[in-house]
């Protein structure tokens, strides 16, 4: 099981959806992500760059048919970070259902 670790880089809603989408796919194309997440070219490009710089995503340019396409996918690091973030979110939510307890020092 992945260790819970809240990830501020992943948390913002756009990136959370983006990473979740990538987590569901093997590779995902730029156009697919753009439509699915309803983002502009620049917004998506910037988020992918951010994630790539963090080492969470890798991209690859290739020819699909006779069109150049960019594909992206999560790295293992990215997948671990995403899983860890989900665990952290669960912990927060569980903290909401369980009675309030002392946080560990």
Q: How many residues line the site for DNA (CB under 7 A)?
A: 24
User: Phi then psi for 71, rounded to 5 degrees?
Assistant: -115, 150
Determine which residue in the list 1, 24, 26, 66 makes contact with DNA, applying CB under 7 A. 66
Provide DSSP, 16-28.
HHHHHHHHH-SSE
Query: Is 55 within 8 Å of 78 (Cβ atoms)?
Result: yes
Question: Which range in 63-71, 76-84, 86-94, 96-104 contacts DNA by CB under 7 A?
Answer: 63-71
Give the residues across from 29 on adjacent strands: 71
**Calpha distance 19→42 (Å, rounded):** 17
Q: Which is nearer to a copy of itself, 66 or 76 (by Cβ)?
A: 76
- Residue 54: name its binding partner from DNA, a copy of itself, none (Cβ under 5 to 8 Å by kind): none
Residue 76 Cβ, how far from DNA at the closest point, in Å? 21
Report which of 83, 18, 2, 84 is spatially closest to residue 50, judged by C-alpha positions: 18
Give contact residues for a copy of itself (rule: CB under 8 A): 6, 8, 11, 13, 16-17, 19-21, 23-25, 28, 36, 82, 86, 89, 92-93, 95-100, 103
């Amino acid at each position: 099981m992945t260790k819970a670790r809240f990830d501020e880089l992943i948390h913002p809603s756009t990136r959370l959806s983006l990473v979740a989408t990538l987590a569901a796919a093997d590779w995902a194309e730029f156009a697919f992500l753009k439509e699915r997440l309803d983002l502009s070219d620049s917004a998506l490009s910037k988020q992918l760059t951010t994630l790539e710089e963090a080492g969470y995503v890798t991209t690859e340019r290739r020819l699909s048919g006779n069109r150049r396409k960019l594909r992206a996918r999560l790295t293992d690091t990215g997948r671990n970070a995403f899983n860890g973030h989900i665990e952290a979110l669960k912990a927060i939510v569980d903290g909401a259902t369980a009675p309030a307890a002392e946080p560990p020092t």
